[in-house]
Structure 1
Amino acid sequence: MGTKVDLEIKDEQGAVIRGWEEDVHRGLNRITWNLRRDAFRRPETEPTAGGDSEERPSGIRVMPGTYTLTVSFGDDQRSSTFAVLPDPREGATSRDRLAKYEVLLEAGALRESIADAISLVYRIRADLDAALAAADRADPKTDEAGSEDPATVDSSLEDMAQDIRKRLTEIEEMLWVPEGTKGIVYSDDRAWNRLGYVMGSMQSSWDAPTPAQLAYLREAEQVAASVLLDLDSLYNEQVDSFRAAVREAGLGLVPEEDPPRVP
């Protein structure tokens, strides 16, 4: 009967760069690593079902250097250090490789900020729906001096939610092409797609980043910074006001969190 082991790769600084599970059996097992670190985070557009998250796919190639593999089976752990050697077929120098790797990490961190922003857009929408559904389920309150008509409260929340949804749609369409969009849509001006293009271009070789690639990355940073600033403003103004109205209505939804920013 097969079982699983957990594997973890650490770099020379001790940072975990890759983790995954493998099915194993009694006897000799062959396990390989494709010399890539974990992929950068992607947007979460559906609520997670709880429990352990799915294994991340692999991402960019790692630099030549010394790495540590840790294999865990239950409470038992074994670690071993090994070297990743440069591909002799590639002519890039160590300095070029390092320059490319560092820029890819920079671009990846920015793409994770964009992914977090997109995820936040979807969470805000879900919170709006939950708050309005709770308002619909709330029992009508008995008339009291100074109390507000529940129908008026519901209408006010609905109006606020509608304005927020409109801004969320505008912001999301600047970040990427929303899921479910039909037809062929021009996407080269979206922050997510801009970054994906330049990262794909840079991963074609270990040569040092070209001036064009760096310029395109800076443009993507500017686009992302502008959109994330819009999201930050929306969250700290309109969403905050909606949250206060929800609390005042006694619904207790819409949790607070910090919007993502450009790293």
Structure 2
Amino acid sequence: MWVGSDDGLVHITKDGGQSWKNITPSGMPEWSMINSIEPSAFDEGTCCVAATRYKLGDFRPYLYKTTDYGKTWSKITNGINNEHFTRVVREDPKRKGLLYAGTETGMYISFDDGQNWSPFQLNLPIVPITDLTIKDNNLIVATQGRSLWIVDDLTVLHQMDNSKKNMASVLYRPKDAYRTKGSVSKEPSKTEGQNHPNGVVTHFYLKNLSEKDSISITYTAMAGDTLASYNNKSEEKDKKLEVKKGGNTHVWDTRGKGAKAMPGQYKVSLDVNGNSTSQTFNIIPDPRAEVSVADMQKQFDFITDINATIEKAHQSIKNIRKINAQLDAFTKQYKGNEQTKDLVEKVKKMKEKFSEVEKALYQTKNRSNQDPLNFPVRLNNKLGHLNSLVAIDDFPPTEQDVAVKNELTGQIDKQLKVFNTLVNKEIEEFNSAFNNLKLKYLFVED
């Protein structure tokens, strides 16, 4: 055990407190106050202490380190402002040599066991740092009068080294992400704390960036299946990757085709103008979850199955509208033509049949949030709402959920069967009649 006192003394015991030895650093000024002691997680004989003398009008930083149980000490304050007195020093338990120091006016960091320090202020206010602690790769900072602050991902610091300094791009391995619910407000509150982003947080670095550069991030299963992809050139808003020169952060909500990814190992790839690098990462269950991973799998399969059905229905609706547009064009061209009278009548009936399928699948009259009060939702909307209810938490679908899903899916499949029959039979008959009449497909009016 190591002990520091308010009158500037440091003692150590190796026998559980039976005997103590004074190991106070010989170079430390008298009457210093030992504010924190940090034994090393890597070497038994290594320890750092932070001391202050501001009550005596001395605002200089005092940090000392020993590697031999206090027999000898070294002062480690190079790089810290001469008037930023040090209140606390902490060692990162995951990377040897990585130290954090809290001073009266902010934060400092060292990658070489305190031989050199650099400011680590980031967006932290200029405020006294009274204590530091590290938990689950998060650095928690206690301040005097400005609340608690957190650097919520130290894994990037763990991966930094000199070999990456000259690289054109660097992709850092994402920290383990929890499969959980929750969200982050787009605009940070000025009066409340902000939640951690919900999803996989990917950090990457771009040494240079020009308008012609193509940058993409892709998340895949270990088997290679693409779950989500984003690009800085994408015209789709939800697929647009925002990038800048220097450090970048991207958050993937862990959703592939609607369902949240299951706990397990995945891969993320950064592609810069055709040059790709990859890192693996883990999605882990929320420790607060009240269900097993097997139950989560049932939910995942349920949602995935429904999404597949809805996607088929949506595609059929798009095809119906394309077909009806072509049928309208035909009617406009040949209406009043005696030769095509029967075919125009057939087109009218075909449109009615296609529209019946569309109206069964989707409420075509809804234009605002109030419209469902007057125009009931249809099959697709009902099935989609069931999905949203089951996806609220990690719980598997109930028997009632499954029963409703089977009923709605059966009705949708029935409509899709009608659609496929129309496509395979009615359209084939129309095309055959069109060709037999030797009608013009394209013509220019005089």
TM-score over 0.5 for the pair: yes
Match of 2:26 in 1: none
- Tell me the secondary structure at the aligned position of residue 285 of structure 2: coil
Match of 1:8 in 2: 218
Partners of 1:20 and 1:78 lie apart in 2 by: 15
- 1:1-263 mapped onto 2 (5 Å cutoff): 4-21=214-231, 22-38=241-257, 59-133=258-332, 135=334, 151-178=337-364, 183=371, 184-187=374-377, 190-248=378-436, 249-251=438-440
Worse-superposed segment, 20-29 or 105-114: 20-29
- Tell me the secondary structure at the aligned position of residue 113 of structure 1: helix
Gapped runs of 5+ residues in structure 2?
Answer: 1-209, 232-240
Match of 2:78 in 1: none
* 1:64–1:85 Cα contact (<8 Å) kept: yes
Indicate how the Cα distance of structure 1 residues 159 and 199 shifts in structure 2: closer, same or farther if over 3 A, else same.
same
- Tell me the secondary structure at the aligned position of residue 194 of structure 1: helix
Length, aligned pairs only:
218
**How big is the shift at 1:237?**
2.1
Gapped runs of 5+ residues in structure 1?
Answer: 39-58, 137-149, 254-263
- Tell me the secondary structure at the aligned position of residue 36 of structure 1: coil
Cα offsets for 1:67-99 (capped at 9, x unmatched): 111111212111111111111222210110011
Match of 2:29 in 1: none
- Tell me the secondary structure at the aligned position of residue 60 of structure 1: coil
Indicate how the Cα distance of structure 1 residues 153 and 9 shifts in structure 2: closer, same or farther if over 3 A, else same.
farther
Partners of 2:382 and 2:338 lie apart in 1 by: 44
- Tell me the secondary structure at the aligned position of residue 37 of structure 1: coil
Indicate how the Cα distance of structure 1 residues 180 and 158 shifts in structure 2: closer, same or farther if over 3 A, else same.
farther
Indicate how the Cα distance of structure 1 residues 13 and 251 shifts in structure 2: closer, same or farther if over 3 A, else same.
farther
Partners of 1:63 and 1:28 lie apart in 2 by: 29
Amino acid at match of 1:185: F
The alignment's TM-score, normalised by the length of structure 2, stands at 0.46
Amino acid at match of 2:318: S
Partners of 2:408 and 2:245 lie apart in 1 by: 50
Amino acid at match of 1:37: G
Match of 2:205 in 1: none
Match of 1:53 in 2: none
- The higher-RCO structure (CA 8 Å, 6+ apart) is 1
* 1:12–1:65 Cα contact (<8 Å) kept: no
- Percent of paired sites with the same residue: 21
